[in-house]
Amino acid sequence: MKSATLNELKKELQELSPKQMQDLCIRLAKYKKDNKELLTFLLFEAHDEQAYIQSIKEEVDELYTQVNRSSVYLAKKTLRKIVRTANKYIRYSGSKTVELEVLIYFCKKLKQSGISIHSSTVLENLYEQQLKKIRKALSTLHEDLQYDYRQEIESLE
């Protein structure tokens, strides 16, 4: 089955009644957890960005407690899971501010965790990739905000 383009979908959705639209959203949410989470964000959390950032930070904290520090391999797997989770929530918001806050928090937690980043090339690359994402997101913000975040980023490098 070939998917319709976004433009075609948009035109078709404009033709639907509110009841049909509601049924469609419920059906979408029923079949995939990501759709349900995105719908939850849009309906309940999108209006309060700071509370959303705080909830992501709390989840990152919880995931950091699960990091197995006995071997670099196991730590690496858990850290990748944390990055995947953080990226999913960042994608839901679509905001560069949320992206910066969450990624900076992740990097700070990684430095504070006591896991030797430089003992493994994979961990070092993971950390560098997050710093690259931070720099890229930072370049899109207003100059005043860039200055505020740049000081935090310098402490990570």
- Nearest 10 degrees: CA dihedral of 109, 113, 114, 117? -50
d(CA 119, CA 115): 9
Give me the pLDDT at residue 151, please. Answer: 81
Higher local confidence (pLDDT), 68 or 145: 68
C-beta neighbour count of 127 within 10 angstroms: 19
Give me the pLDDT at residue 52, please. Answer: 93
Give me the pLDDT at residue 68, please. Answer: 85
SS (H, E, C) 92-155: HHCCHHHHHHHHHHHHHHHHHCCCCHHHCHHHHHHHHHHHHHHHHHHHCCCHHHHHHHHHHHHH
Do 134 and 104 contact (CB within 8 A), yes or no?
A: yes
* pLDDT over 90 (residue 120): no
Tokens read off for 135: 């720099």
d(CA 26, CA 53): 26
* pLDDT over 80 (residue 135): yes
d(CA 6, CA 12): 10
Question: Whole-prediction pTM value?
Answer: 0.85
Higher local confidence (pLDDT), 144 or 24: 24
**Count of H helices and E strands in the chain?**
8, 0
pLDDT in tens, 15-42: 989 999 899 889 988 888 888 988 888 8
The label of the residue with tokens 């992740």 reads: 106
Give me the pLDDT at residue 102, please. Answer: 94
pLDDT in tens, 69-108: 888 888 899 999 999 999 999 999 988 999 999 999 999 9
Give me the pLDDT at residue 132, please. Answer: 93
